[in-house]
Amino acid sequence: MSLEYRRKLAGITINRKHAKDFVTEADVAVERFLVERIQKQYPDHAIFGEESGVHAGGDWRWIIDPIDGTGSFMHGQPFYSISIGVEYRGQLMLGAVSNPAIGELFMAEKGRGATCNGRPIRVSSCETMIDAMLATGFACVRDNMERNSLQHLNRLLPRIRDIRRTGSAAMDMCYVACGRYDGYWELNLKPYDIAAGTLIVREAGGVVSDFSGGTTGLPSEIIAATPTLYPLLREALNA
């Protein structure tokens, strides 16, 4: 469905949530499609969607970002994703991140590993900061937060190999999971940004936590990295 809207970008409706945050006709349509399918198949499950909010239910909860990377999507770039995480009583059990424009589907099931297009994936073997390819995002800057990723970027960039940015937190986490990136950090995130990606990184052998090292819940500040790089990155971010 997102590809259909991508082909007719010039004609779709785009609204502002606030000055630098947008929602498109495609975001709303994709989420509506997913919610309807979930409610038909699992009528007693709860849903939390970026655009439609909370749909009450039982112990199972689906966490949906219909288009993560709306800015990239609006500009005709392929770096956006559809992200779905599934919790049972607060524990992540399933995660799926689809990038329709590139043709990749990342998936994970708790205790059963992670895949990309059905093939098993693992985090990289990176162990040092100087060898690390990192990723971040700037939702914190967009929302004018005083504490933001620019401060971390200035401190980290001289110490690492390089940095990349897709504009989709879910994609960034999947790229850590399959070894394209060695680590990722970001501030001011929402649960639907990271639910699926968190499980995918962990099932691929990586570490995901908040900046203080906490590993429960879906925090607004996040670090994802290889096991060896993780403590070095966390130390640098908290310096």
Q: 232 and 190, same structural domain? A: yes
Q: Which ranges of the chain have pLDDT less than 50? A: 19
Tell which of 70, 94, 120 closes a domain. Answer: 120
Q: Hey, which residues does 62 pair with through a beta bridge? A: 47, 86
Tell which of 120, 147, 168 closes a domain. Answer: 120
> What is the reported pTM?
0.91
Q: Which of 27, 31, 51, 65 is catalytic?
A: 65
Q: 186 and 137, same structural domain? A: yes
Angle in degrees, 0-180, between the axes of helices 149-156 and 229-237, rounded to the nearest 10: 120
Q: What is the pLDDT of residues 147-158, one digit of tens each?
A: 767 788 888 999
Q: Is the dihedral of CA 95, 100, 101, 104 positive or negative?
A: positive
Q: What is the pLDDT of residues 73-122, one digit of tens each?
A: 888 889 999 999 999 999 999 999 999 999 999 999 999 999 999 999 99
* Closest-CA residue to 52 (of 38, 66, 37, 72): 66
Q: Which of 193, 200, 223, 226 is catalytic?
A: 193
Q: Kindly report the CATH number assigned to the domain that includes residue 142.
A: 3.40.190.80
Q: Please give the tally of structural domains in the chain.
A: 2
Q: Kindly report the CATH number assigned to the domain that includes residue 30.
A: 3.30.540.10
Q: 86 and 160, same structural domain? A: no
* Residue 210 a catalytic site member: no
Q: 113 and 13, same structural domain? A: yes
Q: 165 and 95, same structural domain? A: no
Domain carrying residue 143: 129-237
